[in-house]
């Protein structure tokens, strides 16, 4: 299947409240030969305050944020959606994209009334070159050069990994340059560790992950935490019936006989423990799973024989009632989630109704003057609020005086609030960040920081 390598540059790292400023993508064939390229920048949304640190990292200047020759956020997201649809089906892949760029992309589509799940529907799948590189470090060490970070741990930052493996990455944090660095590392990974590459490509769809776990008595599950890598032999033990991406595996270093007869409530409590034998896996986040025979030696700690590992796994497989109770315990945890008061954080709360999907499609077809009336026909309050904000950002003159005034006040309060509970960047906090950056003796960009501060103080509050 073809690949689409992509990257975003953003106003900050908060995937719910920051925004995309730059998007780039390269489409390749299944041998990673480049076929097409796409790149777009856009202007800043009126209710988003950029992080000064992010601007320094990406080289985006205040003048670029308001450049009238650049498309608006809405116009750029429409271009991105159209191009990516034209390139499907494909495997969408970036560097740390599943936990970062993908959320920004979905949030942008959500806020511009476009289908969220472009990269996982219509025959598409998604991978993550950084996750694959981490899997290589565990299952084929030495195939990639992994630099050591400041704290003495492996650093998988793209701007460190690319040069360490022979790719001059002089324009780090420029979207198209980051895409080319990701493509280079993906090619190197596949050529040097083909078995790991293929194994991880088998995890690019949720149902494939579940099938892999279900079809193996036990598997090796690996990852990274603050102390380094971990690997465990695990057995599949349940799936959330209300969230098809949430699965559970049992850590076979624990004896399942002590747990298989517990009630649903007891299992829920066990899963809350720090050292729990029941581990949650998100099948949508490219988990690092390999056959048990490929497991690193550390996965078989405890001195158990192969027969004992298999016995424990068989206990899990034979106890259908245990797996059913684990599934219910997973569901109970999902229902305990408290809804956020912020529309951006409710993006995944529910799937829009069919009639709202139709309204969203119509929204893009009709003239701007007709869109305010259409908003009232949208039933989902999340989508209705995004539509109001979108019109206010793009064509405020088509709103009634009362609604425009209400949204003007909302935007001003959003960027100027001193509320410490506000989860987004505000002008006061951004100015404080400028002061911290100036105090850093490593900082040498005083002129740019002065421009950023002037820009921040010029917000209409």
What pLDDT, in 10s, does the model give residues 224-238? 887 678 999 999 999
- Whole-number Å distance between alpha carbons of 9 and 176: 10
pLDDT digit string (tens) for 263-308?
999 999 999 998 999 999 999 999 999 999 999 998 888 889 999 9
Task: For the chain, give every domain's residue range.
Answer: 3-198, 207-335, 345-425
Query: Is-same-fold flag (3-198; 207-335)?
Result: no
What the block records as the tokens of 361 is 């499609």
Looking at CATH, the fold of the domain delimited by 207-335 is given as PX Domain (3.30.1520)
**CB proximity list for 25: less than 8 A, separation 6 or greater:** 4, 5, 6, 7, 37, 38, 39, 83, 84, 87, 179
pLDDT confidence band for 310 (50 / 70 / 90): very high
**Which architecture does CATH list for 3-198?**
2-Layer Sandwich (3.30)
**Is the pLDDT confidence value at 112 over 60?**
yes
10 Å CB burial of residue 170 (0-12, 13-18, 19+) is exposed
pLDDT of residue 173: 84
What the block records as the tokens of 292 is 């048990």
pLDDT of residue 226: 73
- Whole-number Å distance between alpha carbons of 61 and 81: 26
**Is the pLDDT confidence value at 172 over 70?**
yes
Q: How many residues does the chain have?
A: 461
- Whole-number Å distance between alpha carbons of 187 and 146: 16
pLDDT digit string (tens) for 202-218?
999 999 999 999 999 99
pLDDT digit string (tens) for 40-73?
999 999 999 999 999 999 999 999 999 999 999 9
**Is the pLDDT confidence value at 407 over 70?**
yes
Of 144, 138, 139, 97, give the one whose Cα is nearest residue 120: 97
pLDDT confidence band for 197 (50 / 70 / 90): very high
């Amino acid at each position: 299947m073809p690949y689409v390598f992509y990257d975003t540059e953003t106003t900050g790292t908060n995937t719910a409240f920051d925004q995309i400023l730059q998007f780039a993508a390269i489409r390749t064939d299944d041998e990673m030969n480049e076929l097409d390229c796409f790149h777009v920048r856009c202007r800043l949304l009126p209710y988003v305050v950029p992080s000064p640190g992010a601007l320094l990292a990406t080289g985006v200047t205040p003048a670029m944020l308001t450049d009238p020759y650049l498309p608006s956020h809405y116009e750029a997201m429409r271009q991105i959606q159209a191009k990516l649809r034209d390139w499907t089906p494909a495997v969408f892949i970036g560097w740390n994209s599943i936990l970062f760029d993908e959320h920004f992309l979905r949030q942008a589509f959500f806020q511009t009334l476009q289908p969220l799940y472009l990269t996982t529907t219509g025959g598409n799948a998604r991978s993550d070159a950084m996750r694959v590189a981490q899997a290589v470090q565990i299952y084929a060490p030495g195939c990639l050069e992994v630099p050591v970070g400041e704290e003495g741990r492996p650093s998988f930052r793209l701007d460190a990994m690319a040069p360490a493996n022979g790719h001059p990455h002089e324009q780090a944090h420029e979207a198209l340059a980051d895409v080319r660095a990701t493509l280079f590392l993906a090619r190197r990974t596949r050529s040097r560790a083909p078995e790991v590459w293929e194994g991880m490509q088998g995890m690019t769809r949720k149902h494939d992950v579940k099938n892999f776990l279900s079809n193996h008595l036990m598997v090796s599950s690996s990852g990274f935490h603050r102390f380094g890598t971990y690997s465990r032999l695990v057995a599949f033990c349940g799936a959330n019936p209300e969230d098809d991406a949430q699965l559970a595996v049992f850590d076979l270093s624990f004896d399942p006989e002590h747990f298989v007869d517990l009630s649903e409530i007891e299992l829920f409590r066990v899963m809350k423990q720090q050292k729990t034998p029941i581990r949650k896996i998100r099948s949508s986040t490219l988990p690092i799973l390999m056959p048990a025979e490929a497991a690193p030696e550390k996965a078989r700690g405890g001195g158990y024989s192969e027969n004992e590992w298999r016995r424990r796994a068989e206990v899990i497989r034979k106890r259908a009632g245990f797996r059913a109770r684990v599934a219910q315990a997973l569901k109970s945890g999902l229902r305990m989630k408290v809804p956020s008061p912020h529309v951006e954080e409710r993006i995944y709360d529910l799937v829009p109704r069919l009639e709202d999907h139709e309204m969203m499609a119509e929204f893009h077809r009709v003239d701007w003057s007709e869109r305010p009336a259409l908003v009232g026909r949208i039933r989902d309050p999340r989508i209705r609020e995004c539509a109001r904000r979108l019109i206010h950002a793009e064509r405020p003159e088509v709103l009634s005086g009362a609604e425009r005034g209400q949204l003007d006040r909302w935007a001003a309060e959003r960027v100027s609030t001193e509320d410490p509970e506000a989860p987004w960047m505000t002008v006061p906090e951004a100015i404080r960040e400028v002061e911290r950056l100036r105090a850093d003796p490593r900082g040498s960009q005083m002129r740019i920081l002065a421009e950023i501060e002037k820009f921040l103080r010029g917000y209409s509050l």
